[in-house]
Amino acid sequence: MKRIAVVTLVLASLTLGAANARAASITYDVRSIDNYSFPLPTYLAGWAAQSTPIASQSLSDFNGSVGSNNGYDRLTVGFTVSAAHAGDTVSFQLAPDAGYGGEVYLDGILKNQKTSDLWWGGDWTNTSELLIANSGPLAQGSYVLQAFWAEGCCNGGQGGRFRLNDQNWESLTVANLNALAVPEPGSIAIFGLGLAGLIAVRRKRVSC
């Protein structure tokens, strides 16, 4: 019985560790603008060129967020792709209120830059006002989506969404992103079968 207890604890620890490693995150940072060169030569560089304090918050849902007037914004989205989704593609659409424009990166690679005044008006079909990042086939592992934009005044509500392959769009939330990290059903089954086998062996020894 002691062996079974130890194995159970190990399996529980591995499962909990894997769950923590898979956890998605959405971090939204805003700082005031004191350097008005755009995009300098990129918005990432423009963000770094500001000397003002950074206000940071962790979000469960980016939709409905509002930046600040005369503000420079940075959105960082961390997510993990499990083996079950390896080979899939992912598309992101961000709808910032960005009077000075913005850009979006996927794993450090610039995917889209727009220097015009971006305001989507709550309409996802208005793609010319969105920051868009499309991936190629993804390998199993962790990824980071990061976007930078700036706004002068009158900041409004913002949004984000993503989809796998050509499936339906999902809101940019931690809960939806975590679905990308769901392990293969076979992996869970193997853990269960292994534990059940140990229990069966133990019972057989006790009965003999």
The ranges assigned to domains in the chain are 23-182
Task: Give the per-residue pLDDT at 59.
Answer: 98
The model's pTM is 0.81
| Cα-based distances in Å from 200 to 36, 186, 187, 195 | 70, 21, 20, 9
- Sheet arrangement for strand 141-151: 55-59, 25-32, 71-81, 141-151, 102-106, 109-114
Of all residues in the chain, the percent with pLDDT exceeding 90 is 73
Cis ω for the linkage preceding 185 (within 30 of 0):
no
Per the structure block, which two tokens stand in for 190?
Answer: 């193997």
For domain 23-182, give the CATH number: 2.60.120.1560
Looking at residue 131, its pLDDT comes to 98
Better pLDDT: 16 or 181:
181
Q: What's the number of CA atoms in the CB half-sphere (13 Å) around residue 178?
A: 14
